[in-house]
Structure 1
């Protein structure tokens, strides 16, 4: 990715070209300017805020709104992105979700769903996460018998978060393959296949809602149905459908990526594995460092400037589409030493030490669950297999950043 400068407004325009390393490419943009142009977002393109302090400020600034319809002259970039990946027009309502709402409307929906992600509820889930993890690792051990290579992505990294979020929400096992296919298409788009996949999942959600009305269970779908029947705070049918759709797809794809990428990062940095084995109390801190360096989300969803906003020495015009550069912020040398290094001993200071889960009102609802799953999965994986290694050893540390792994062949 190369860059050229547009002197009229101070914004930097990103041009094609890449080194193949996301940290390098995004870092070059960050060092070019505090705000850069990002092509391919809607018909107008978008801006990306690149530097840590500016990104943090943007994510908490109410002038950057999530609902394009509330900003004069804004183009709905989420609808454009949906069209690009093949979401059919009749399902466009799925874009009106928690992440694209503001103010009281957002607060109302988030309050209702957050009951499933309280600290107590997440802590209560830990024994079940550990049980699922142990069962999957038993399968990995059996498949790896005799020195055979095993794809950890297919055997472990995906099945774990899918099982956890589906149990929490209430999606039965026979429905889960359709969700995994949808998740795959959302990160590796095949627009011609998306309409059928998306409609199949939406049909499943509507079926679940109908079944939970008839026969309640201890799951999130039942909780949403009960809210829907409460005259004091209603959810519409579309709101329920969208919430379930978003929570499941967001709840496994990102965590699966993080587990896979973190495993690769650690296996190519044996000094970091040695540190964790010598001091297991480092694991919670290590998870934050792995989110910072291997997080699956390079930018926030589009937001829209409701006024002219000054970012650094750049004015972002009212009506502009703007994204927060989470990856550029997490590797910003202005706020941390050696940001390009993975260091499980890194002192995060106050807070998390990264913006991988966002900031402000739209901070990731499932962050605590994602951290817990990642810690349980990685700790159990490296405890179970003392000789865990890549099937094809690589002496070079793997790239950091958000690039997804389609497979990860390992031996034990």
Structure 2
């Protein structure tokens, strides 16, 4: 929560990285210190090595207490709802993780995502048509960057249109660590809502992912439990819109801050946009650190022996600015990955827990930037960059609002 680190994590975590490949830090209410892994190759190794597990229960022989429980309780989450945050597909390991991932993976394959392109373009165009502009200014987080991905993921999962505003409120509350009572209420609201929606959809099936998951559960509870069904929907909807929304917001600010790069992108959007989105994920990705992981055995990282059971967090922002991997990493360059397919950055993670919806997120961002820049050639920030309102939460880089001017003054 250091003010300088929150205001410029790119420089702050880079300083930590150059100090040491691993830094012992205190995080929230974790109780005991944990190790922050800072350098690209080490971060990639942690994310790809099965010697690191997401659940402390899967560290053999130690009976570890989950240090995250203290953090969750410190955020005001009631004991009955805490498991829904601590035991999702994001926290599962091994066969349990693969089982849950396979249930939804086909929805997010590149082919299926490509089939969704016309609908994503339609939603994007509709949102731009309806921007509530006042004196030439509009908040693009509230009226564009957020509604686009929440509409897409809710249509996929099966969240009714009239309920989507609730998810916006819950998602915003989860980012306010200084208001723990709001976090607890949001988690309870999400769990109770999804539980009720499962009952509704079971009575009235539809052509959506939720109905398909209910069918799996009802046909074979060992393939998907009722608890897992709720946590899967929770994880898909929250992860399926928050990251993309803030990639669009952060990315637009980065482009406006670099007019030379914006000019190049405007000149050749179809050729440069895929690579530009990858560079934006590296440069200003909204997720800057991973969830806790735990060493399931003694492991050597960065030349140091990490003892079995040690909690670890991988710093994505530090890795993505590591000069050992990226030439001039603090230089923003939309042509850094010219073919738009090679993914050197770790913004979407790596290994078994690589972001399930990465292809969809990239597509939504490409469509959003292309349409926005085409429609509004004179787009500019309506406030100084230093005055933008960002969430004060470690590990994320997210705008609460983004006022922009659509026309020349």
TM-score by shorter chain over 0.5: yes
Q: Which of 212, 230, 234 in structure 2 is aligned with 1:245?
A: 234
In structure 1, how many angstroms separate the alpha carbons of the residues matched to 2:44 and 2:333?
A: 22
Which string of whole-angstrom CA distances, capped at 9 and with x for unpartnered residues, describes residues 75-127 of structure 1?
41332332232222101221211111111111111111212212222112111
Q: Does structure 2 conserve the Cα–Cα contact (< 8 Å) formed by 1:307 and 1:318?
A: yes
* Equivalent residue number for residue 38 of structure 1: 25
Equivalent in 49, 57, 63 of residue 61 of structure 1? 49
Q: Deviations over 1:329-360 (max 9, x none)?
A: 00000011111111111136883020011111
Q: Distance in 2 between matches of 1:37 and 1:299?
A: 15
* Matched residue, 2:37: 49
The one of 364, 367, 370 equivalent to 2:361 is 370
Aligned to 1:91, the other structure's residue is in SS state coil
Tell me how far apart the structure 2 counterparts of residues 90 and 211 of structure 1 sit (CA, whole Å): 23
The corresponding residue for 2:212 is 223
Q: Indicate the SS of the match to 1:88.
A: coil
The equivalent residue for 1:212 is: 201
- In structure 1, distance between residues paired with 2:282 and 2:162: 34
- Are 1:79 and 1:92, in contact at CA under 8 Å, matched by a contact in 2? yes
Match of 1:359 in 2: 350
Give the drift of 1:64.
Answer: 0.8
| Closer/same/farther in 2, CA of residues 207 and 18 from structure 1, 3 Å limit | closer
Partner of 1:381, secondary structure, is: helix
- What aligned pairs does 1:161-176 form with structure 2 within 5 A after superposition? 161-176=149-164
Verify: 1:293 aligned to 2:283, yes or no. Answer: yes
SS at match of 1:217: coil
With the length of structure 2 as denominator, give the TM-score of the two structures.
0.91
Cα shift at 1:18: 4.0
Q: TM-score, normalised on structure 1?
A: 0.90
Q: How many residues are aligned here?
A: 395
- C-alpha RMSD of matched pairs (Å): 2.4
Q: Hey, what's the Cα distance between the residues in 2 that align with 1:66 and 1:348?
A: 34
Matched, 1:27 2:14: yes
Which residue number in structure 1 is paired with residue 243 of structure 2? 254
Name 1:153's counterpart in structure 2: 141
Question: Helix, strand or coil for the counterpart of 1:108?
Answer: helix
CA-to-aligned-CA distance 1:25-46 (integer Å, 9 cap, x gap) = 0001100111111202511021
**Contact 2:5–2:13 (Cα < 8 Å) also in 1:** no
- Change beyond 3 A, Cα 1:173–1:395: closer
Corresponding position: 1:144 with 2:133: yes
Shift of 1:230: 2.5
Secondary structure of the corresponding residue to residue 89 of structure 1: coil
Query: Alignment partner of 2:180: what SS?
Result: coil
Out of 305, 324, 332, the residue aligned to residue 334 of structure 1 is 324
Q: How far off is 1:227 after superposition?
A: 0.9
Q: Does 1:92 align with 2:82?
A: yes
Once structures 1 and 2 are overlaid, which stretch shifts more, 54-63 or 345-354?
Answer: 345-354
Contact 1:74-1:321 at 8 Å conserved across structures: no
| Contact residue 268 and residue 395 of structure 1 kept, 8 A | no
Contact 1:294 1:402 in 2 (8 A): no
Over 3 Å counting, the alpha-carbon distance change for 1:17 and 1:377 in structure 2 is closer
Unaligned runs of 5+ in 1: 2-14
Instruction: Answer yes or no: is 1:133 the counterpart of 2:120.
Output: no
Q: Note the alpha carbon deviations across 1:353-406, whole angstroms, 9 max, x for none.
A: 20011111000111111111111111110011111111136699xx9x953211
Partner residue in 2 for 1:408: 402
